Amino acid sequence: MELPILHRRCAVATLPDRMTSSDEANTPAFRDFGLPAPLLQATDELGFEFSTEIQALTLPVIAAGRDVAAQAQTGTGKTAAFLLGSFSRLLTTEPGERRADQPRMLVIAPTRELAIQIGKDADSLGKHAKLKTAVVYGGIDYEKQRDQVAGGIDVLIGTPGRLIDYFKQKVFNLKALEIVVLDEADRMFDLGFIADIRFLLRRMPPPGERTSMLFSATLSHRVMELAYEHMDKPEELKTETTQVTADGVRQSLYHPASDEKIPLLLGLIRDMEPQRSMVFVNTKRAAERIESYLVGNGITCGLLSGDVRQNKRQRILSEFTGGNIPVLIATDVAARGLHIDDVSHVFNYDLPQNAEDYVHRIGRTARAGTEGVAVSFACENYSFSLPEIQDYIGQSIPLEPITDELLVDPKRPAKIERDRVEKHGERKGSGRSAGRGPKPGGKRPPRGEGRPKRSAPTTPGEQAAGSGSAIPTAVDGAATDAPRKRRRRRRRGGKSAGAGSASDTPSQETGSGGTSD
C-alpha cells in the first residue's frame, strides 16, 4: 500500500481518516513496513496486525534514519511507534565500536510510571530481538538499577534525575549513542526538567550523528524550539485528526457546590456502576478525604499521590490493573504515562487548572479506539479554569443537571489515616491498635463506675502530678481524650504534660520511617 509522501523539515504529513485501526481493510499492516522478523514475531504474539495512524506516519521516517517530532492524541500508540522504529534501526545497522557502559539507545520519560510502562512495552516488543534493556527511576532499587546499567545494556530508559545521577557517577556514558527519544516532551517543561534534558543532550554525539525523536501530545512553540536546537532538521508529523480529545470519550459536566461533591460522586458511582474508574483531584488532602468517604461507604479504592513510596505505588497500580481495586484516586502524578486497559470512567472531582491536564486525565479512558466516560465537577473553587479547558478542546462540555436522586447521603468517613501511615513504613502498633485513642463507638464510663484511680505514679509525668492524680485512664480498651491531647502537643513539637505508658513516648511516636520519599 502506498503511503503519503513525507516532506522534509516541518512538513506536516497526514493520513486519510479511513486509516484507523478499526478499518483494517485500509490500514497498513506492520508487515508492510519491512520490520525485522524478531519484531514481527512479537507483534503477532501480541495480536498487533494493523498499525495506528501515528505509527503509519512515523515508521517509514524512522526507518529512513531521519529525525521526528510527532504529535498525536494520548492512547494512539506513540510508544509502540518509536520502539518498533528504533528497534528496527538497531537490528538492521551494525553498531560502531563501543564499550559495555555505552548504550545504543536512550529513552527519556518525565515520570516514573511512564518510564516503567515504556520498559514493559520494550520487553514485549523486543522479546525476540536480543536487545538488553534497563529502566532506571527514582524512589526504589538504587543499587540494583545501578548494577544492571553498569553490566552493559543496549537500551536505557529512565527519568532525568536518576539518569543524570548515574551519568555523573560514570556508570554509563553517551558517546556511542545512536538513538535518543524524548517522550511527553511538553510534560518535561511542565515538571521543570528541561535543564536536565539539555544537560543530557549536550553530552551525546552531535545531532547529525544520531537519530533523534520527540513525541508529545502538543507541539507547542517551546517544544519545537527544543527540537530545532538539538535535532537534525526534524520532520513535524501530525495526525489528521484535529480533535484534541479522543472520539470515544463521552464527556459531561456538573456544577455542584463544594459540599455536594462527595454526595454527587457517591451517587454517580452508584448509578453508573463503573467497572474500573479513576478519580482525579488537585491536592493530596482532597484525595485522602475522598478515600475516607469511599471506604466508609463500602467502596474499595486506592490512592496515588506524590509522596506515596514507589514500591507501594507499584503495588496499588498492580491491584488496580488486576481488578482488585475498582477505584483509583490520583493527583496529576498519574495523569500521564499510565496505560491501564479497560478504564471505563474518569471523574474529575477537581477541574484541573491546566487545560492540557484535562486532556491527559480523560485520556486514561477510551484508549486504542475503545469507549469511555469522563465526568467533571466545576465547583466554585475550580470553575474558573472551565473556559480555558473548553477553548483548548474546541467544544463545550455537555452540562448535566444535579437531581436529588444523584445526591447520596454519605455515611461517616472511615478513620483510615493511621492505617495509611502504617503501610507507608511507620512503626506498626501505633495509633488505636496500641490502645491510644477511643475505639469507634466506645463510650467513657461515668465517674465512679469502673474508673479506678491509679495506685501509684509510674512515669515522670504522673509523679509530677502526684499520687491519685485525676488523669483518667482507659477502661475495657476505650481510651480517654487526655492521651489524644498529649499526642497533638507532641506533633506540634511541644512537651507532654504527662506521659502515659512507655509505648507513648515521643521517640516512638515520631520515629523514622515516615511517609515522605
Q: 254 and 222 in one domain?
A: no
Number of domains in the chain: 3
Confidence of residue 240 (pLDDT cuts 50, 70, 90): low
Cβ atoms < 10 Å from Cβ of 403: 9
Q: How many CB atoms lie within 10 A of CB 444?
A: 15
CATH code of residue 285: 3.40.50.300
Grid coordinates of 306: 506524590
Determine, yes or no, domain membership for 90. Answer: yes
Q: What is the pLDDT, as a whole number, of residue 490?
A: 52
> Domain for residue 41, yes or no?
yes
User: Residues 227, 255: one domain?
Assistant: no
199 and 270 fall within a common domain:
no
If asked whether residues 216 and 257 sit together in one domain, one would say: no
| Higher pLDDT, residue 513 or 362 | 362
> What is the pLDDT, as a whole number, of residue 427?
39
Within this chain, do residues 253 and 316 fall inside the same structural domain, yes or no? yes
Q: Give the confidence band of 371 by pLDDT, cuts at 50, 70, 90.
A: confident
Query: Are both 144 and 36 inside the same structural domain?
Result: yes
pLDDT(471) > 60: no
284 in the same domain as 209: no
Query: Residue 484 pLDDT more than 90?
Result: no
Q: Are 189 and 337 found together in one domain? A: no
| C-alpha dist (Å) from residue 485 to 320, 414, 480, 481 | 38, 21, 10, 6
Helix axes 160-168, 142-150, angle to 10 degrees: 60
Torsion sign (Cα): 330, 332, 334, 338: positive
Residue type (1 letter), 502 = A
Quick: pLDDT tens for 421-430.
444 444 344 4
The model's confidence at residue 213, banded by pLDDT at 50, 70 and 90, is: very high
In a domain, 423, yes or no: no
Which of the pair, 138 or 366, is modelled with greater confidence?
Answer: 138
The DSSP code for 494 is -
User: Is 274 a domain residue?
Assistant: yes
Hey, which residues does 155 pair with through a beta bridge?
105, 133
**Is there a single domain that holds both residue 199 and residue 326?**
no
Q: What is the pLDDT of residue 408?
A: 92
Average pLDDT over residues 85-98: 90
Nearest of 470, 443, 398 to residue 249 by alpha carbon: 398
Nearest residue to 247 (alpha-carbon basis) of 40, 124, 394 = 394
The number of beta carbons lying within 10 Å of the beta carbon of residue 517 is 13
DSSP assignment, residue 150?
H
In this structure, is residue 40 part of a structural domain?
yes
Please, are residues 407 and 260 in contact by the beta-carbon 8 Å criterion?
yes
Pair (214, 335) in one structural domain: no
CA distance 479 to 78: 57
In a domain, 515, yes or no: no
What SS3 state is found at 190? Answer: helix
CA distance 238 to 240: 6
Q: Is residue 264 located within the same domain as residue 231?
A: no
Range of the domain at 448: 439-497
Q: Could you tell me if 209 and 262 lie in one domain?
A: no
**pLDDT score of 173:** 94
